[in-house]
Amino acid sequence: MALNVREGKIFEEIKGFVHIWNQKRWKHRFIVLYPGKLEVFLSEEKAKVQKTVHLRGCSIHGAGSAESESSLLEKSSSGLQLWNKFWKSSSFDDKIHEGTILTIEPVKGKKIVVLVPKEEAINWTAAIEKAASLEGAAQHDAKALKLPDGSSSKRKTPSDRSSLGILAKNNLQLKRPWNLMWEAATAKDNFATNLTSSEKVEAFEDKGYLAALPSTQLEALWYDLETSQGCTDFLKSSCLNAQALAHASLMIDYFKGCYQMGDSSLPDELRLEAWRGTLRRLIKTLVDHLLESNPALESCKIHEERMEQLWLACEVWVIGGVHDKIMGACKQMFSMKEKELDQMLAKLDKATPSLFGVRLEFQELVLGDALQQFRMINVFHTPLEKALCLRETVNLILAGIRRVTRSCSGALPEKDGLLPCTDDLLSFMLLLMARARVKYLQANACYMQKFLLVQEDCQKGELGYHITNFAAACEYLLSAEMQKIVADVVVAPTSTSCRTESLEANACEGSIHAKAGPTMFTFGTSHSFKARDGSHCENGDSWQKLHHFSTSSGPTHCNRLTNVPDERSTENPCQTNSPCSELLHGNVHLRRVKGQESLSLGMDDVGSPKWIRDNYRVNKEDKKMSSHRRPVLALPGSSPEFIMSPAYG
Amino acid sequence: MMRTVPIKVVLLGDGRVGKTSLVLRYVNATFSEQQTPTIQASYLTKRLNFNGAMVTLAIWDTAGQERFHALGPIYYRDADAALLVYDITDKDSFDRVKSWVKELRKMAPKDIILAIAGNKCDMNSQVDLKDSERYAASIGSSHFNTSAKSNIGIEETFLDIARRVLEQKKALAENVPASTQRKTMVIIDEPPPPPPPSKCCS
């Protein structure tokens, strides 16, 4: 991380990985400093902005070491809690223990707590201060350069152009296209663009872009849309969304009740494409409806990233709602392969890492946390959450590999040779599958590949890579190559303890860890919307108080909440759900021993249980609705009737 | 609105031809020394501004071990471009490129852009470079001599890939009407009902 200011004009993009406190735990995030603002991303890819902090006039505290910081934190209970959680967090490597906590308090908005490596703390502090000061300079310049007639397309003198260059560069965070051009102007190797900065400014003046620059900052992107809870909260945050959500929840219910998953004699690809297409149309209908009914979402029409976020939120919400049916059908589709895979994994239970191609240098690596994380994959319901779980698993493996690499005393090229490549990740994925014994691997792979970001083919990003690796590992385990390897290996008979471990692993699919619990519960309550008292609703807050979202489908939702794999719905995903359910918020611990299931409820985290009664009933007398009760054939390219039907009520 | 174009590039080639070094050199070259170090070489991204178009190159490493060879199609499915890397000091690795090309022709998307990189060009070549260039031209691919060690030809290679993919996308967008871009399949699984028997009215 280095600050690079050339002649005080250009602020080089400062970026790097840090840990950010999100009120519950530390999250590993990629942050980028721009003039006047700090943006938080999930990964280096910078696909989605998680949070934007405006730095103008901000104050930065705490540049002491983590040790001294801990003593300060211990003085307050919240600080102590924060600190304890920090140490308990499993995703840290050893080096971060020497980190420094920086607290950035912006003039407006919440403060942000960042943990950076100790040796980088001073650089980060300086960079943040510089970024904050450049914002001020940019605005000052903007005022100074404003022409009396308000027009900015007038020709400037060379010196003006130079200043304007700074203005343009520093103002570029206002609007995305400008931001991109700013990056182009500051890139070290601007090989693809031959224009000088002043020429560019001139060119933009000619096109009238400067006049189009907004005088106020564009609103930050929404964040916390990576979980189903976050997406549900986002969609619930405005009462204006109620009608669209109510309509969508009806469509979801009809999808679950009436939509035929196609004859199994049809090619799998075709059936999957049909489901995907239907869901895409369902999501599109919801998005269109939301845009139409909620003027606050108007910004999506001009802000591409926000539109993507809206799509994502709708997609997560809708696909979460039909998870049981889709996943059930996927399980059915791959039932034979799953059986083969389970048999293969049983044989590989005690296989050595080298059998999977794990490098000798990495064999000492203990999977530990990665194994636990990987076992969570069936706990999550949306493809996005599953894919994020997969990414987190890989990150934990990478953290382990980094520890191994650090302990090596070789030269840089040798260490480069230790950087994990796809062969390594694939080998580790195989090892992970053999050790974790998670069920429904093929179905999960298919579910993630086909239903992650259904609105477009977005399997080119990082999540797509991890899913591909996962799918490749499944494929390899069923390959003739693997059969041959297994045949050559003498597999030790499975011991009693091993069987117990396997049972535990299977049960893990059904057990909800504290980490994933809340996400699931709230998720279960999110579908099928029914407003009890919409007439008094005026804003988002009151909406949450006055409205009640309830579910319509009994066993499916109930099973989702308790996370028991529903064999009935797996075998017959088309069956209509029974009408009533009661949903429970809290931690549920499930253990399955020899086919028996016991359910225990832990309320430690959530206080008293909150019961939500199901109020939604399909009115059988309603002709409009009953007209949709007939089974809908799933064919690609055609919309089932319920998708395009108008809003009910 | 300016949209960042994602371009998926898969790296193919035998083990030890220098795929990882090549991509690490490319991605790390523009990072400052104090930048967060790259922690893996399997999936890397690079943002480019190409004549005003923002491009994100998503570079996917593929498993190079022979045992994983059959998994190739899973990785290059949906790829926009494939960079086939061989070691100029190893003729077999060039022959392997030819077999990759045959496989790609069968299994990969039809419009995939191909580029061939003869790596380790700072060393004595065992492959006739003119032959390899002729071969590249014959399959509609570009050919570059690269060296990860000396940082030769790498940037040009990826720039060429980005340029060709962008040109292809642009041409596709111009030539294909929007209505036909949507993939639709219509299946009629039941024959239409037979016409009612004709009644003689006379």
pLDDT band of A206, cuts 50, 70, 90: very low
- Scanning every residue of chain A, which has its alpha carbon at the shortest distance from the alpha carbon of B29? A189
User: Average per-residue pLDDT in chain A?
Assistant: 62
The answer to whether the Cβ–Cβ distance between A420 and B40 falls below 8 Å is: yes
Q: What is the average pLDDT across A13-28? A: 75
Q: How confident is the model at residue B198 (pLDDT cuts 50, 70, 90)?
A: low
Is A422 in contact with B42 (Cβ distance < 8 A)? yes
Answer yes or no: is pLDDT of A415 > 50.
yes
- For residue A30, name the pLDDT band (cuts at 50, 70, 90): confident
Residues A465-478: tens digit of each pLDDT: 999 999 999 999 99
Top-confidence residue, A106 or A621:
A106
CB contact under 8 A, B63 and A15: no
Per the model's pLDDT, the better-predicted residue between A207 and A178 turns out to be A207
Which of A5 and A325 is assigned the larger pLDDT?
Answer: A325
B60 contact residues in A (CB cutoff 8 A) = 422, 465, 468
DSSP A245: H
Of all residues in chain B, the one with the smallest CA distance to A186 is B49
Average pLDDT over residues B187-197: 52
Mean pLDDT of A592-608: 35
Return the percentage of chain A with pLDDT > 70, whole number.
50
A460, A484, A488, A633: best to mutate for the B interface, most B CBs within 10 A: A460
For residue A221, the model assigns a pLDDT of: 67
Min Cα separation B35/chain A (Å)? 5
A349 in contact with B, Cβ within 8 Å: no
Closest CA to B69 of B12, B16, B9, B114: B12
pLDDT digits (tens, 9 = 90+) for A284-324: 899 988 988 888 888 777 777 788 888 888 988 888 888 88
Interface of A with B in 287-326 (CB under 8 A): 302, 304
Nearest chain A residue to B72 by CA: give it. Answer: A472
Within an 8 Å CB–CB cutoff, is residue A475 touching chain B?
Answer: yes
> Which of A402, A458, A472 minimises the CB distance to B75?
A472
CB contacts of A391 in chain B (<8 Å) are none
Mark yes or no for CB contact B74/A465 under 8 Å. no
Cα of A382 to nearest chain B Cα, Å? 22
DSSP A97: G
Which segment of A170-184, A351-365, A376-390, B151-165 scores lowest on mean pLDDT? A170-184
Note whether A621 and A614 are within 8 A (CB).
no
The position carrying tokens 């809690």 is A81
- SS3 track for A128-155: HHHHHHHHHHHHHHHHHHCCCCCCCCCC
Size of interface A-B (CB pairs under 8 A): 156
Pairwise CB contact (< 8 Å): A419 & B8: no
Between A585 and A437, residue with greater pLDDT: A437
Q: What integer pLDDT is reported at residue A112 of this predicted model?
A: 83
Average pLDDT value for residue range B44-54: 84
Which residues 6+ apart lie within 8 Å of A409 measured at CB?
A: none
Contact check, Cβ <8 Å, A422/B51 = no
* Among the ranges given (A19-33, A229-243, A554-568), the one the predictor scored with the smallest mean pLDDT: A554-568
Residue with structure tokens 């967060």?
A: B36
Q: Which of A2-16, A331-345, B102-116 has the lowest mean pLDDT?
A: A2-16
Please give the residue of chain A at the shortest CA–CA distance from B71.
Answer: A472
Chain A, residues 545-564, CB within 8 A of chain B, namely: none
Q: Is the confidence at residue A623, as pLDDT, over 80?
A: no
pLDDT for A446: 93
- Residue type at A265? S
Residues of B in Cβ contact (< 8 Å) with A169: none
Task: Copy the structure tokens of residue A356.
Answer: 């999977």
Distance of CA B10 to the CA centre of its chain: 5
Shortest CA gap A454–chain B (Å): 13
Secondary structure letter of residue B194 according to DSSP: P
Question: Among the listed ranges A129-143, A263-277, A343-357, which one has the minimum average pLDDT value?
Answer: A129-143
Flag if A357 and B186 touch (Cβ within 8 Å): no
Question: Among A194, A255, A222, A295, which residue's Cα sits nearest to residue A577?
Answer: A255
Mean pLDDT of chain B: 81
Coil/strand/helix, residue A37: strand
Are the C-beta atoms of residues A21 and A104 closer than 8 Å to each other? Answer: no
For residue A637, pLDDT beyond 60: no
Contact A476 B184 (CB under 8 A): no
Mean pLDDT comparison of A92-96, A541-545, B43-47, highest-scoring range? B43-47
| A181 interaction partners in chain B (CB closer than 8 Å) | 49, 52
Residues of chain B positioned with their CB less than 8 A from the CB of A401 = 39-40
Closest Cβ opposite residue B186 in set A2, A16, A637: A637
What proportion of chain B, given as a percentage, has pLDDT over 90? Answer: 40
- The number of angstroms, rounded, from the C-alpha of A361 to the middle of its chain's C-alpha atoms is 32
Q: Which residues in chain B touch residue A273, judged by CB atoms under 8 angstroms apart?
A: 185
Q: Which of B21, B54, B71 sits opposite A180 (nearest CB)?
A: B54
Residue of A nearest to B18 (CA): A417
State mean pLDDT over A242-254.
Answer: 86
Closest CA to A465 of B158, B159, B6: B6
pLDDT number for residue B69: 87
Please judge whether A460 and B78 are an interchain contact, meaning their C-beta atoms are less than 8 angstroms apart: yes
Do A15 and B36 make contact, defined as CB atoms within 8 angstroms? Answer: yes
pLDDT at A118: 72
pLDDT of residue A473: 94
Contact B2 A416 (CB under 8 A): no
Question: Residue A59 is inside which H or E element, if any?
Answer: strand A59-61
Neighbours of A500 (CB within 10 A): 11
Q: Which residue has the higher pLDDT, A337 or B32?
A: A337
- What number is the average pLDDT over the span A213-224? 50
> Which residues are CB-contacts of A603 (< 8 A; sequence separation ≥ 6)?
A586, A587, A609
Strands A582-584, B43-50: parallel, antiparallel or unpaired by DSSP? unpaired
pLDDT of residue A519: 31
Residue A8 exposed, middle or buried by CB count within 10 Å (0-12, 13-18, 19+): exposed
Closest partner residue to A184 (CB to CB) among B19, B49, B64 is B49
A44-53, A519-528, B77-86: the lowest-pLDDT one:
A519-528
* B86: Cα separation from own chain's centroid: 15
pLDDT of residue A420: 83
Closest CA to A178 of A206, A150, A200, A147: A200
CA separation, residue A221 to residues A57, A297, A463 (Å):
21, 12, 20
Higher pLDDT: B94 or A174? It is: B94
Is 60 exceeded by the pLDDT of residue A522?
no
In angstroms, what separates the C-alpha of B105 from chain A's closest C-alpha?
Answer: 20
Contacts of B109 in chain A (CB under 8 A): none
Element at A587 (helix H, strand E): strand A587-593
Indicate if the pLDDT at residue A609 is higher than 60.
no
Contact check, Cβ <8 Å, A2/B34: yes
Whether B49 and A187 lie within 8 Å, measured CB to CB: yes
Residue in B2, B30, B43 closest to A180 by CB: B2
Which residue spans within A400-530 are E strands per DSSP?
529-530
Give the residue on B whose Cα is nearest the Cα of A396. B39
The complex's ipTM works out to 0.84
Residue B117 has pLDDT above 90, yes or no: yes
Tell me, what's the pLDDT at A180?
22
- Span A145-167, average pLDDT: 35
Q: Tell whether A260 is within 8 A of chain B (Cβ).
A: no
Residues 33-72 of A with CB under 8 A from B: 44-46
Report the alpha-carbon distance of residue A527 to residue A577 in Å, rounded.
14
Q: Is the pLDDT of residue A639 over 60?
A: no
Is A452's pLDDT higher than 50?
yes
Cα–Cα distance, A404 to A401 (Å, whole number): 5
Tokens read off for A82: 């924060």
pLDDT of residue A374: 93
What φ, ψ does residue A439 adopt, rounded to 5°? -90, 165
Q: For residue A415, what is the nearest residue in chain B, using CA coordinates?
A: B39
Tell me the mean pLDDT in the region B85-99: 92
Say yes or no: A488 contacts chain B, CB-CB below 8 A: no
Specify whether the CB–CB gap between B107 and B76 falls below 8 A: yes
For position A412, what pLDDT does the model report?
54
Q: Residue A267: pLDDT band by 50, 70, 90 thresholds?
A: confident
A302 to chain B, minimum CA–CA distance in Å? 8
Number of C-beta neighbours around residue A205 at 10 A? 19
A226 vs B45, higher pLDDT: B45
Residue A552 C-alpha from the chain's centroid: 27
